[in-house]
Amino acid sequence: MKKISLFICFIFLLNAHVKAQNWVSYSTSIPAKGLEGLPFRLKAMIKAEIAHDSANARMWIRINKPTKMGFFENMRNRPIRNKAWKPYQIDGIIDSGAVKISFGALCEFDGKFSYDDFKLEVETRKGEWKTIFSEDFEDGKTEPFVQGVQGGTSGINNKFSATTIKGGSSKSGQYLEILGKGVPSYGFNKAAGKLAEVNGARIYYEVYGEGKPLVLLPANGWGMPGLVSEIEYFLNKKYQIIVIEPRNSPKNWSKGQALSFELMASDVNEVLKKQGVDSAYIIASDQIGFYLAQKFPDKVKKMAIDEFYVRSDTFGIEPWAHQLLKNSMEKEKEERNHNRLNLILNTPQISFSDLEKIQAEVLLINVDWDGLVRLSHSLEIIKHLPKSNLFVSPGGYDANVQNRELTLIAIENFFERRFTGKP
């Protein structure tokens, strides 16, 4: 049975502004009371007719505990692209203290994604399995599956629709068909995509529009699909958007390559040279933006940065998040993800005197409470950044998801207005 890394469970914290831009989920949930500790298997018949190279269908399941997630799997390493019906399965154990089990379908990009004969079973005795949920869509309804991930706005996407279709995996009855049409393909756009050979790595980036150069930098290890809101918002404001994936994104990563925040900042500088960009507005996450402003100050007109900390201990990172990251790194066997987490936890500390040398105008972004970076740490940072403001999105760790338009308006205002100094 596969044990799932806690790294996956931490996705929404480390890339908090990722909403369902190129994907959708149709899901349901059941109570977990009385099922704690039991092995389970989630099964379904699935097929996919994809209209985009990266489109795929998957299943996912999450065990909810009172204050955090337990088991989680979303078949990220088993994307489904076959046109014929085939059975698929996720195995696991229901965590102690579980209160709810959420599960469903997950689809990415354009295509027709078909599901039938969903079953969730638990092993009550060795070799004896009991069905605790079953849905074959024979009543012609998509319920109890609804858009979303059973909480918040993640997994909701109006580019997808669902209906029931006659036929199904048994060639009788009905099945659930999810249709994706006009789904944004940022990060996979062959017309806009470019490759640059810099610093011993191949860096993928995309360029959109005309106007003032604005560079979007996904967080350490992430690609650009989570930046759809930023791309579309600022394209409408007459910026030229340059989205540069870091060297440890899934698309850029190569086994054994060198990795540091300083090197990733240098990659950005080299890409901008190749594009003929002397300086640009920057929207960044984590330390990549800081090192760009420190090592290549002429490249930064103004910068908005979130998830930024100068200490990777519990002084800078929320204690519970720090422990989760540490546990995740110890369990993570995939080189790229292990190195990504190691970079977060063990990157060299940045001194306050280093911050005081930054001359770029910086908008620091955080949330009220329970984010990756402690709010008290952000307040300490802006004391030492000479030309800085702090924007606090109201709410918890997912506030930058729920309030993304508010955050983007704050960033635009910061870019457009003259910085008048601190009170």
pLDDT for residue 291: 95
Q: Which residue has the higher pLDDT, 312 or 56?
A: 56
193-416: which CATH architecture?
A: 3-Layer(aba) Sandwich (3.40)
In angstroms, the CA 230 to CA 290 distance is 19
- Position with higher pLDDT, 40 vs 315: 40
Start-end of H helices in 237-286: 261-275
Select the more confidently predicted residue: 76 or 402: 76
> CATH 2.60.120 residue ranges in the chain?
22-180
Region of 19 please: left (phi>0), alpha (psi -120 to 50) or beta.
beta
Q: What is the DSSP letter of 5?
A: P
Q: How many CA atoms lie within 13 A of 103 on its CB side?
A: 31
- Over residues 208-234, mean pLDDT: 91
17 pLDDT higher than 60: no
Please give the pLDDT value at position 319: 87
- The residue among 356 and 6 whose pLDDT is bigger is 356
In this prediction, residue 220 has a pLDDT band, given cuts at 50, 70 and 90, of confident
Determine the pLDDT at residue 181: 95
Average pLDDT over the chain reads: 89
Is pLDDT of 318 > 50?
Answer: yes
Identify the pLDDT of residue 53: 86
Contact indicator for 239, 283 with CB cutoff of 8 Å: no
* Confidence tier at 184 by pLDDT (50, 70, 90): confident
Any idea what DSSP says for residue 181? -
Which pLDDT does position 368 carry in this prediction? 85
pLDDT-derived band at 370, boundaries 50, 70, 90? low
**pLDDT, tens digit, 9 for 90 and up, residues 241-262:** 999 999 999 889 988 888 999 9
Of 86, 2, 96, whose CA–CA distance to 41 is shortest? 2
Say what the pLDDT of residue 299 is.
97
Answer whether residue 5 shows pLDDT above 60. Answer: no
pLDDT of 321 higher than 80: yes
Classify domain 22-180 by CATH number: 2.60.120
Q: Which has the minimum average pLDDT: 11-15, 34-38, 230-234?
A: 11-15
Q: What percent of the chain has pLDDT over 90?
A: 65
Q: What integer is the mean pLDDT of 368-384? A: 88
Nearest to 153 by CA among 12, 280, 283, 265: 12
As annotated, the residues of the chain forming the CATH 3.40.50.1820 domain(s) are: 193-416
In 3D space, the residue among 394, 391, 389 whose CA is nearest the CA of residue 368 turns out to be 394
2-11, 303-312, 323-332: least confident range: 2-11
At 276, give phi and psi (nearest 5°).
75, 30
Lowest mean pLDDT, pick from 10-19, 76-85, 171-180: 10-19
Smallest CA-to-CA distance from 46 within 157, 134, 181, 168 is with 168
Tens digit of each residue's pLDDT (9 = 90 or more) over 401-419? 778 889 999 999 999 998 8
pLDDT of 315 reads 86
The predicted structure's pLDDT at residue 423: 61
The SS3 assignment for 96 reads: coil
Q: What are phi and psi of 324, to 5 degrees?
A: -65, -40
With 70 as the cut, is the pLDDT of residue 6 above it?
A: no
pLDDT tier for residue 157 given thresholds of 50, 70 and 90: very high
Average pLDDT value for residue range 9-31: 68
Secondary structure of residue 317 in the 3-state scheme: strand
pLDDT recorded at residue 312: 87
The phi and psi torsions of 378 (rounded to 5 degrees) equal -60, -40
Question: What is the C-alpha separation between 400 and 18, in angstroms, rounded?
Answer: 9
Query: For the residues 61-85, what does the mean pLDDT come to?
Result: 93
What pLDDT shows up at residue 170?
Answer: 65
Positive/negative CA dihedral, 415, 416, 417, 420: positive
- State which H helix or E strand residue 86 sits in: strand 86-93
